[in-house]
């Protein structure tokens, strides 16, 4: 009889499969306009997760990756490392904020119809517990609260595999039509 896998082991195994798939694709970079033309935001995010189009270079730089997307939801997983420490010995707040911002923005992105985009207008982060490299993985799960023609709002939580909450955030995004090339 096999023993049940811990949540952390499951997260690491899932991450390994996703990173392998992403690395077999085009790697980090920007999608070409023709790769995303006519696609919904969810279709674009799914193509990225499938390794069909490039993923954001910041994820490689800061040691986190997208692990799942669905309508109104985006989940990222990160590895807090010594290279992310601030002078006080905890993970820099900017690393935490970037993970949360990624989950928030991508959750909003999943709601965009073809020809629409968004940009962050406001990001608010609440840090509730210090994070160190002793925590092997954290996940940021962003969920859309509202998505309209001009504004979208979302919330996210950064948690460890044991359920510990390290930070939570909200965003307000401006929604707009993508300008057509002339």
Rounded CA-CA distance 64/59 in Å is: 5
Strand 116-127 versus strand 73-78 pairing type = unpaired
Query: How sure is the predictor about 174, in pLDDT bands with cuts at 50, 70 and 90?
Result: very high
Contacts 24+ apart (CB under 8 A), 7-10: 7/161, 7/162, 8/136, 8/137, 8/161, 8/162
For residues 65 and 37, the answer to whether their CB atoms sit within 8 Å is: no
Q: Rounded to two decimals, what is the model's pTM?
A: 0.94
Q: Which of 161, 53, 160 is nearest to 109 (CA)?
A: 53
User: Tens digit of pLDDT for each residue in 13-70?
Assistant: 999 999 999 999 999 999 999 999 999 999 999 999 999 999 999 999 999 999 999 9
- What pLDDT shows up at residue 23? 94
Which pLDDT score is estimated for 151?
98
Quickly state the pLDDT bin for 179 (edges 50, 70, 90). confident
Question: Which homologous superfamily does the CATH classification assign to the domain defined by 7-177?
Answer: Hotdog Thioesterase (3.10.129.10)
Query: pLDDT for 62-100, tens place per residue?
Result: 999 999 999 999 999 999 999 999 999 999 999 999 999
Sign of the torsion formed by the C-alpha atoms of 47, 53, 58 and 62: positive
pLDDT digits (tens, 9 = 90+) for 126-154: 999 999 999 999 999 999 999 999 999 99
123-133 confidence digits (pLDDT tens): 999 999 999 99
Is the model's pLDDT at 3 over the cut of 60?
no
* CA–CA dist 56, 64 (Å, integer): 10
Q: Are 18 and 65 in contact (CB under 8 A)?
A: yes
pLDDT of residue 180: 79
Instruction: Report residue 1's pLDDT band, with 50, 70 and 90 as the boundaries.
Output: very low
Domain segments of the chain as ranges:
7-177
């Amino acid at each position: 009889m096999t023993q049940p896998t811990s949540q952390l082991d499951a997260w690491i195994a899932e991450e390994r499969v996703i990173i392998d798939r992403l690395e077999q694709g085009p790697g980090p970079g920007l999608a070409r306009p023709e790769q995303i033309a006519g696609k919904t935001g969810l279709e674009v995010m799914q193509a990225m997760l499938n390794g069909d189009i490039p993923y954001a270079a910041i994820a490689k730089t800061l040691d986190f990756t997208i692990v799942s997307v669905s309508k109104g939801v985006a989940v990222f997983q990160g590895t807090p490392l010594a290279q992310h420490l601030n002078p006080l010995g905890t993970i820099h707040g900017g690393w935490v904020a970037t993970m949360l911002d990624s989950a928030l923005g991508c959750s909003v992105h999943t709601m965009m119809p073809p020809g629409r985009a968004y940009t962050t207008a406001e990001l608010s982060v609440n840090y509730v517990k210090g994070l160190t490299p002793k925590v092997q993985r954290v996940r940021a799960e962003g969920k859309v609260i509202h998505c309209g023609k001009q504004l979208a709002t979302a919330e996210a939580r950064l948690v460890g595999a044991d359920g510990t909450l390290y930070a939570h955030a909200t965003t307000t995004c401006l929604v707009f039509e993508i300008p057509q090339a002339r």
